[in-house]
Structure 1
Amino acid sequence: MSIEKIDWNLLKSISETPGAPGFEKQVRELIINELKSYVDEYYTDNMGNLITIKRSKSENAKKFMFAAHMDEIGFMVKHIDDNGYIRFQTLGGFDPKTLTSMRVLVHGKKDLLGVMGCKPIHSMTPAERQKVITNEEYFIDCGLSKEEVSKYVKVGDSITRHQNLEMVGNLINGKSLDDRVCVYALVEVMKSLNAETIDCDVYGVFTVQEEVGLRGAQVAGHGVSPDFGIALDVTVANDIPGLSPENYVTQMGKGVGIKHFDGGTICDRRMVELLENVANENNISNQAEVLPFGGTDTANIQRMPENGAIAGALSIPMRYLHQTVEMAEPGDVWAMVELCGKVVQEAKKLITNR
C-alpha cells in the first residue's frame, strides 16, 4: 500500500515528539489535543497513562481495552564532567553499536543538541578494536563547556534520539516507531469508532514506561480491568539478509501480525481466533506471529484485571527495532487500524463464547 491513507503530518508529530520512559508528558498532551473531541471521556491516572473512552449504546456494556505505549527508548543524565561531557543512564534496551555518532536531544531548561561520542578507532589498541563497546563507554558531547551545559541541564533530565521521519523508498523510516506507529494507529481507531456499531465500551489506553518493564500497563490493566483487551505494539521483521525464513518472525508488507506467543504471554485462543476470522472475513492482510523473546503490554492486560481478561495482541512488523532508525510498511500500519475497528464490532462473539 502507498502512503496515501496515512495522516503523515500526525504520524510525524507523534514520532518526533520526545517521551522517554517517565517523561511522556509532551506526547500525552499531543494525543489529548488530537482525541478530545472524538471520545466521550478521557483522564490520566496517577502513573501517567492516558485513558480515552468511547461509550457503547448497549446497556451493561463490557469493557474492551486497546493499549499502545507512549514511551520511547531513551536516556537520563547521570553526570556532567568538568569538560561538559554528559554521562547517562539508559532507559530501555539499546544495542551499543548503534549509538556511535548518533544525534540526541538533552531535555533540560531548554533542549540541547548533542552527539554520542566514544574513543575513536585511531586511538584504540588492537585488543580494543576487537571488543564490543559498552553503553558505559559512551558520552554525550553538546559542544559546550561544563558551565554552559549546567545552565540548562541537571542530573535526572531526559535524553532522546534526534531523527526526522522520512519515507525511504516505499517504507516509513524514523525514530521511536516502537511504539509511536501504534500510538498513531490507536488514535485513528478511536477517531473512527461509532457508538451505534460497537457492543462494548472501548478504552483506548496510551501507556507509560513500557520500555522499562511494562510498568504503565500494570496499573492501567488493573485500573480499567477490561473484559477483553488487545495490546498494539511492533515486532521484529527479520526478512533481511543473513536470516532464514523460519527466523523471520514476521515479514514487511504481509499485513498486521496476529500474536500467538511472546516471552511474556500466551495469547487467549478465543481472541486469536476472533482476530483471524475478522481479518479474513474483511480481506485485511494479516500474518501469524510467534515471538520467542521479549514481551508487550499484553501480559498486564491479560493478568491484572481481577478475573483476568480475554487478551491478545496485534503487531506491526518492523526492521531495525531499537536501532537508530526503525522502518515500517504503510499497508501493515493501516491493516492494524482496520482490524481494530472491525474487531470491536464483533466483541459480542467473545461475550457469547466465554
Structure 2
Amino acid sequence: MALDYTLLKELTETPGIPGWEDRVRARVLEAVKPLVDEVRTDALGNVIAHKRGRGPRVMLAAHMDEIGFYVRHVDARGFLRLQPAGGFDARNLFARQVVVHAREGDLVGVLNPGGRPIHLSTPEERKKVPEIREFFVDLGLPADEVQARVRVGDPVTLRQETLDLGRVLTGKAMDDRASVFLLIEALKALAGKTPAYDVYAVFTTQEEVGLRGAVTSAYGVEPEIGIALDVTLAVDTPGAPEEEAVTRLGEGVGIKVMDGASISDRRLVTTFVDLAEKKKIPYQMEVLPLGGTDAGAIQRARAGVPAITLSIPTRYIHTVTETVHKADLEAGVNLLVAYLLGEA
C-alpha cells in the first residue's frame, strides 16, 4: 500500500517533549477521528482510539513524545540553561538550532557548550566532550527581553527539517513519530473492515522518561494482548562491528525478542514470524541490549499482559538525523494490518 509520507514529515517536525505533547496530540486526533469508532484523551494526555472488532482487546502503543529539554535557569546575561527530558549524547548537540516554546510564542535560538572557541582553546580542551549541564541557549536577544519572555519550565526542542531522500527519510523525532505514523497508516488500511481483534490504538505520552503514559493507559484499557510500536537501533554504519548492528536499514520490520524493559511473549514472537513468512513480508529478529519500549509497561499492567514490540530500524537514534527506510515502514504496516485482520 502507498503510504502518506507527507504526514510523517509533518509529525516529525511538530514539537512535543515529554509532558508537553499538546501539538502532536492535536495532529494525531485530527488524523484518527475519521478512522475509529470512538476516541478520547486520558488524564496523562494519551490518545486512546477504539476501533471495534470481533475478538480480544489488543492495545497498540506508539509514543508521541520526543527527547528535549526544559528551561531550568535564565541567567543575568539572558543565556538559558537546560534540564534534559530524555536521553541525549552530548556529542550530538554541538551548534544546534533549538526552539524555546515560551508562553507568548516560539523563540529560535542556538545551542552550544560553554568554553572557548577553537581559535583560543588548548589541545586538551578540544578533546573534551562537554556534559549536558555545560550547554546553554543563546536567543540573540537583550537580557531583559529574554527574562521577560522566557520562564523556568518552558519546553525546548531541537529544530530540524525532515527530508525525503528517495528511499529513506531523515530528520528529528523519528523516535517515535515514525511509529505514530505507522499506526495511523494501519488504521487507514482497516477502514471499512472489521478487525479480528477489538483494537485500541493508543498514542502515549512521556515514554522517553519512563514509559509513563503506557502505564496508565494500559491500566485503563485492560488489554488482553499488547503490541508496542517503536524504533530500534540500525547500527549498520562504519565504526561498529557487524555483531552490534541490532537491525539493518531496509531489511524489514523488526520483531523484538527482548530489550532492557521487556522480553516479548514467545507465542506472539512465533505468531508474527510465521505471519511474516506466510505473507512474504520482510522482517528481522531484534535483540536490543539496552533501552525499552511501551511493551515494558503494558506487560506489567494489572495481572499481566502478553506483549511484543514491532520495531522500525533507525540509524542515528536520539539525534536530529534519525533515518528510516520506506520499505521497513511499509513492512511494519503490512504485518500489523495482517495480524489485526486475523490472517495469522
Instruction: Indicate whether the TM-score tops 0.5.
Output: yes
Matching residue's letter, 1:281: K
Distance 1:341 1:169, change over 3 A: closer
The CA deviation string for residues 92-135 of structure 1, in whole angstroms up to 9 with x for no partner, is: 00010111110010000210001002222333333322222111
Q: Is the 8 A contact 1:19 1:26 kept in 2?
A: yes
What is the distance in 2 between the residues matched to 1:262 and 1:223? 25
Percent pairwise identity: 47
Partner of 1:88: 82
Provide structure 1 residue ranges, at least 5 long, that are not aligned to the other structure: 350-354
Aligned with 1:123: secondary structure?
coil
Partner of 1:189: 186
Residues 30-69 of structure 1 mapped to structure 2, 5 A cutoff: 30-56=27-53, 58=54, 61-69=55-63
Q: Is the 8 A contact 2:78 2:141 kept in 1?
A: yes
Q: CA deviation at 1:149?
A: 1.7
Equivalent residue for 2:286, pick from 286, 289, 310: 289
Aligned with 2:267: secondary structure?
helix
CA RMSD of aligned residues (A): 1.5
Partner of 1:352: none
What is the distance in 2 between the residues matched to 1:88 and 1:226? 38
Count of aligned pairs between the two proteins: 341
What is the distance in 2 between the residues matched to 1:193 and 1:52? 13
Partner of 2:325: 329
Q: CA deviation at 1:37?
A: 1.2
Matching residue's letter, 1:328: V
- If the length of structure 2 is used for normalisation, what is the TM-score? 0.96
Partner of 1:110: 105
Aligned with 2:284: secondary structure?
strand
What is the distance in 2 between the residues matched to 1:77 and 1:66? 33
Q: Which moved more, 1:270-279 or 1:190-199?
A: 190-199
Equivalent residue for 2:334, pick from 331, 338, 346: 338
Matching residue's letter, 1:86: L
Partner of 1:134: 131
Partner of 2:312: 316
Equivalent residue for 1:276, pick from 264, 273, 277: 273
Q: Is the 8 A contact 1:14 1:184 kept in 2?
A: yes
Q: Is the 8 A contact 2:52 2:194 kept in 1?
A: no
What is the distance in 2 between the residues matched to 1:93 and 1:319? 16
Q: Is the 8 A contact 1:257 1:286 kept in 2?
A: yes
What is the distance in 2 between the residues matched to 1:123 and 1:36? 57
Q: CA deviation at 1:195?
A: 6.6
Residues 206-217 of structure 1 mapped to structure 2, 5 A cutoff: 206-217=203-214
Runs of 4+, deviation exceeding 3 Å: 194-197
What is the distance in 1 between the residues matched to 2:327 and 2:287? 21
- If the length of structure 1 is used for normalisation, what is the TM-score? 0.93
Matching residue's letter, 2:320: T
What is the distance in 1 between the residues matched to 2:86 and 2:119? 30
The CA deviation string for residues 252-296 of structure 1, in whole angstroms up to 9 with x for no partner, is: 000000000101111001110111111111111100001111111
Q: Is the 8 A contact 1:18 1:160 kept in 2?
A: yes
The CA deviation string for residues 12-63 of structure 1, in whole angstroms up to 9 with x for no partner, is: 110100101000011001010111111101111101111001001x3xx420
Aligned with 1:36: secondary structure?
helix
What is the distance in 2 between the residues matched to 1:7 and 1:301? 29
Q: CA deviation at 1:169?
A: 5.3
The CA deviation string for residues 201-254 of structure 1, in whole angstroms up to 9 with x for no partner, is: 100000000111111111111111100111000000010112222111000000
1:180 aligns to 2:177 (yes or no): yes
Q: Is the 8 A contact 2:35 2:191 kept in 1?
A: no
The CA deviation string for residues 271-330 of structure 1, in whole angstroms up to 9 with x for no partner, is: 1011111111111110000111111111111111x2311210100001100012210101
Q: Is the 8 A contact 1:55 1:195 kept in 2?
A: no
What is the distance in 2 between the residues matched to 1:199 and 1:183? 22
Q: CA deviation at 1:81?
A: 1.0
